[in-house]
Structure 1
Amino acid sequence: MITLHYLEDSRAQRILWLLEELDLEYELARYSRNAGSGLAPDSLKRVHALGKSPVITDGNLTLAESGAIVDYLAQRYGAKQLLPEHGTDIWWDYVYWLHYAEGSLMPPLLMRFVFERVKQAPMPFFVKPLVKKIVAGVNSAFLDKQIHTHLNFVADHLACHEWILGEQFSAADIQMSFPLETVISNPELADSYPRLQAYVAALQARPAYRKALKAGGAYRYGPAN
């Protein structure tokens, strides 16, 4: 039996979705974020030393990292449904997007999120204007440009493709879902990328995605209704 160690409002949601796409039996071990910090609880360290989510256990195997989990589940249980033929050009496209989602797209989005948290953190009133100025400077000089470069790249790719790998939905779409859902949840970014909005809406309309929402409960980046 597969167990998904599921932290609320996290990358674990797309693993739950993948389990539903593959129609696999699984158990959910639920974790709530620490009040105040919003970080994962220390109890996750009993499952994996880094204390992060998602983590799955499958028999004697304990596996962390979203990309590794997506690849493992897709290759072991869903190669025919969710993967292209191994060794073909489109297979290497799959490998690229699997790593691109977290290796290139997510880091500037995460940095922007962290800087926004810093800007909103409690601090002496006389320090706040300086912090806001620093955050605005970093955003304008580096992060905004990086983020829009990546979002234009993905939007341009999807302008010619229904799904990430073309006409067939794949595990690459599931891996790409989390960073793009965080983008669409931010109106400042979403309004500039209608193709990304439409793509995320198509992902969220899939029956297995809806089943995962019911199984996992409230999800910050999910559809409004």
Structure 2
Amino acid sequence: MLTVHHLGISQSERIVWLCEELAIPYELKVYERDPVTRLGPPEYKALHPLGTAPIITDGDTVLAESTAIVEYILAKYGNGALTVPPSDPAFADYLYWFHFANGSFQPSLMRCMVLARAEVAADKPVAQFADARRKQALALVDQQLSKTAYLAGESLTAADIVAVFSLTTMRAFYPFDLSPYPNILAYLQRIGAREAYRRAMKKGDPGMTPMLT
């Protein structure tokens, strides 16, 4: 049985959502963060040497890293759903946006978050650089969504499932304003209307209202 080990308010929401979109059988185990450190509990950290979310188990397989998990589940259980084949003109877009969130966007947000928590003044060059990269990434997403309903075309793909966390729940850790990006805001309303997304968020983080505005 595929088991999703979900740490509350984390990137593992991607995996719960993926399983709900695919309508595959899975077991969900939810772990709460330590109220003081906001880190995962010892039993979560014991699952994998890094102890970071998400983690799945599937028989004897233990796998971490959200994009690796997404690829694993799609390859093993997806039957071609939520992907774009190499023969499709949108294949390169799919690959780019699938890797964009964790390759470019999420690191830019993490830099901003670390600098803010270190109380680095906003007028310092390093803070200005980090903020510029964050805004550049958001502008790129907004531009793409001015052309297509979803990141890789007119249908939801795994690229969207990977990307949405950085636009939504990540703002619980590092708040930023999406009002300059109307296409992103419209996109998030489309995401929020999806039954699979709503089920996933209710199952994984029932006490949190999805950050779609």
* Structures share fold, TM-score greater than 0.5: yes
Q: CA deviation at 1:14?
A: 1.4
Q: CA deviation at 1:113?
A: 2.0
| Aligned pairs for 1:205-220 within 5 A | 205-218=193-206, 220=208
Letter in 2 for 1:76: K
Paired residue secondary structure (1:190): coil
Cα RMSD of the aligned pairs, angstroms, is 2.4
How far does the alpha carbon of each residue in 1:33-84 deviate from its partner, in whole angstroms, 9 at most, with x for none? 1222212223223211100110111122211111111111122222432111
Q: What TM-score, normalized to structure 2?
A: 0.88
Alignment gaps of 5+ in structure 1: 120-131
Name the counterpart of 1:45: 45
Letter in 2 for 1:92: A
Q: What TM-score, normalized to structure 1?
A: 0.84
Q: Separation in 1 of the partners of 2:69 and 2:205? A: 21
Q: Is 1:173–2:160 an aligned residue pair?
A: yes
| Identical positions, percent | 37
Q: Separation in 2 of the partners of 1:224 and 1:180? A: 8
Name the counterpart of 2:101: 101
Name the counterpart of 1:9: 9
Name the counterpart of 1:92: 92
Name the counterpart of 2:177: 189
Letter in 2 for 1:156: Q
Name the counterpart of 1:116: 116
Number of aligned residue pairs:
212
The more displaced of 144-153 and 185-194 is: 185-194
Paired residue secondary structure (1:5): strand
Q: CA deviation at 1:115?
A: 2.8
| Aligned pairs for 1:122-137 within 5 A | 133=121, 136-137=123-124
Kindly tell me: are residues 53 and 187 of structure 1, through their superposed partners in 2, closer, same or farther at Cα, counting changes over 3 Å? closer
Q: Separation in 2 of the partners of 1:194 and 1:219? A: 27
Q: Separation in 2 of the partners of 1:71 and 1:219? A: 29
Q: Separation in 2 of the partners of 1:115 and 1:22? A: 38
Q: Separation in 2 of the partners of 1:91 and 1:219? A: 37
Name the counterpart of 2:190: 202
Q: Separation in 2 of the partners of 1:11 and 1:75? A: 20
Contact 1:98 1:175 in 2 (8 A): yes
Paired residue secondary structure (1:165): coil
Paired residue secondary structure (1:168): coil
Letter in 2 for 1:15: I
Structure index of larger Rg: 1
Kindly tell me: are residues 162 and 184 of structure 1, through their superposed partners in 2, closer, same or farther at Cα, counting changes over 3 Å? farther
Q: Separation in 1 of the partners of 2:209 and 2:92? A: 29
| Aligned pairs for 1:135-154 within 5 A | 136-137=123-124, 140-154=127-141
Question: Which structure carries more helix by proportion?
Answer: 1
Contact 2:90 2:153 in 1 (8 A): no
1:157 to 132, 144, 163: 144
Name the counterpart of 1:34: 34
Name the counterpart of 2:24: 24
Letter in 2 for 1:12: S
